[in-house]
Amino acid sequence: MGETQTFEHITVLLHETVDALNVQADGVYVDGTFGRGGHSRLLLSRLGERGRLIVFDKDPQAIEVAENWAKNDRRISVIHNGFATFQAALNDLGVGKIDGALFDLGISSPQIDDASRGFSFRFDAPLDMRMDTTRGQSAAQWLAQADEQEIHEVIKNYGEERFSRQIARAIVAQRGESPIDTTRQLAQIAAQCVRTRERGQDPATRTFQAIRIYINRELDEIEQTLPQVTARLKTGGRLAVIAFHSLEDRIVKQFIRTHSTHAPLPKWAAVRDSDLPQPPLLAIGKAIKPSHAEIERNPRARSAVLRVAERTGGDFQAA
């Protein structure tokens, strides 16, 4: 077996995120996106012996790191699965209410920088893009069988790519001649179809983002998980979510807004605010973005947005 290559991961909004959780020493917390454990390490440093941390990740390499930690720290429980399995996983562990949960959405630096994972057009590698390489359909497998309309819709909706139809048409034409199974092939197709590009952005950027989001069901997972977490938070428990692009952040922002405000009442309704039922969430502060100093240290942090909400005593019914 060859030597395992390691890739650096700089945790984004590290202290801001863990500070936002208002960590209680004997509390129960969830890191829904363990990665290489940056947020978890700081969170554990604030937990006492009776505290507990449950970590999720799809990536087998991340899980290997987490399981090594767990061998030496009985406070840690490791779940090799996506965070959409939140409720079922907590049930299996016998965990009821929790004191807080954090999610660092999207793709990690080690996944981008490992050419073999197929996430980046910077390398020529097998076109995989799965966060969990042990299960599911790879990007190459999906592109080999999806019809043109489906490919167009994925690239348009998840990549917000203006030239999605042209790219989809070119993919179908190319696969009729030979399989599209490397990152370079897909990047070249996108480059031929994207007639104008944003400054500093490769023409394949939006296509790669879209297919990655689709293959990993990233937006679906966020939508499924936020209600599960809210239902499990204790009163005063915190939810902290870092998003890296507008589609993720929109879901988080709308969820917090919806569940931290009352439905609008007709003007004629003689009801005082104090008489209305309490919303289940309270938005904590404004969205937090990385400082200029952090962006200088880690340019990949530039698009990060952290949103925080606190569970109130108001009723919440998960759909």
Q: Are residues 198 and 266 in the same domain?
A: no
Instruction: Verify that 105 and 222 share a domain, yes or no.
Output: yes
Q: What is the CATH number of the domain that holds 192?
A: 1.10.150.170
Instruction: Among 216, 237, 272, give the residue marking a domain's end.
Output: 216
125 in a structural domain? yes
Provide the 8-state DSSP code for 182. Answer: B
pLDDT tens track for 42-95? 999 999 999 999 999 999 999 999 999 999 999 999 999 999 999 999 999 999
209 vs 9, residue with greater confidence = 209
* pLDDT tops 70 at residue 110: no
Task: Report pLDDT for 272.
Answer: 66
1 in a structural domain: no
Mean pLDDT of 162-183: 97
pLDDT (tens digit per residue) in 237-279:
999 999 998 999 999 999 999 999 876 656 656 666 666 789 9
- Which H, E and C letters describe 33-86, residue by residue? CCCCCHHHHHHHHHCCCCCEEEEEECCHHHHHHHHHHHHHCCCEEEEEECHHHH
- Could you say which DSSP state residue 103 is in? E
Residue 238, domain member (yes or no): yes
- What is the Cα 260 distance to its own chain's centre? 22
Sign of the Cα pseudo-torsion (240, 243, 248, 249, in order): positive
Long-range contacts of 46-52 (CB under 8 A, 24+ apart): 46/18, 47/23, 47/75, 49/75, 50/25, 50/26, 51/24, 51/25, 51/26, 51/27, 51/75, 52/27, 52/28, 52/77, 52/95
For residue 3, the model assigns a pLDDT of 37
pLDDT of res. 123: 73
> In this structure, are 24 and 166 located in the same domain?
no
CB 275: neighbour CB atoms within 10 A?
7
Give binding residues as ranges.
Answer: 37-39, 57, 83, 104, 111
Q: Which helix (H) or strand (E) holds 190?
A: helix 183-193
48/133 same-domain check: no
* Predicted model pTM: 0.89
Same domain, yes or no: 208 and 227: no
122 burial type by CB count under 10 A (0-12 exposed, 13-18 middle, 19+ buried): middle
pLDDT grade, residue 2 (50/70/90)?
A: very low
Mean pLDDT, the chain, integer: 90
- 236 shares its domain with 159: no
- pLDDT score for 40: 97
Q: Would you say residue 159 has pLDDT above 80?
A: yes
Joined together, the tokens standing for residue 147 give 């019809």
pLDDT in tens, 175-230: 999 999 999 999 999 999 998 777 768 899 999 999 999 999 999 999 999 999 99
Q: Strand order in 76-80's β-sheet?
A: 76-80, 52-57, 28-31, 98-104, 233-243, 305-311, 281-283
The whole-angstrom separation of Cα 97 and Cα 232 is: 5
* Annotated binding residues for S-adenosyl-L-methionine: 37-39, 57, 83, 104, 111
pLDDT of residue 270: 61
Residues 238 and 300 in one domain: yes
Section 109-126 average pLDDT: 67
How far is Cα 83 from Cα 76, in angstroms, rounded to an integer? 16
Based on the domain organization, do 20 and 31 belong to the same domain?
yes
Whether 270 is covered by a domain: the verdict is yes
* Tokens at 312, concatenated: 């109130």
Query: What local confidence, expressed as pLDDT, does residue 300 receive?
Result: 83
d(CA 50, CA 126): 45
Instruction: Looking at the structure, tell me whether residues 208 and 223 fall in a common domain.
Output: no
Boundary (domain end) residue, out of 181, 216, 251: 216
Residue-wise pLDDT for 27-37, tens only, equals 999 999 999 89
Number of domains composing the chain: 2
Residue 109 has pLDDT above 90, yes or no: no
Domain end residue (candidates: 216, 245, 269): 216
163: containing domain: 120-216
Contact by Cβ (8 Å): 81, 101: no
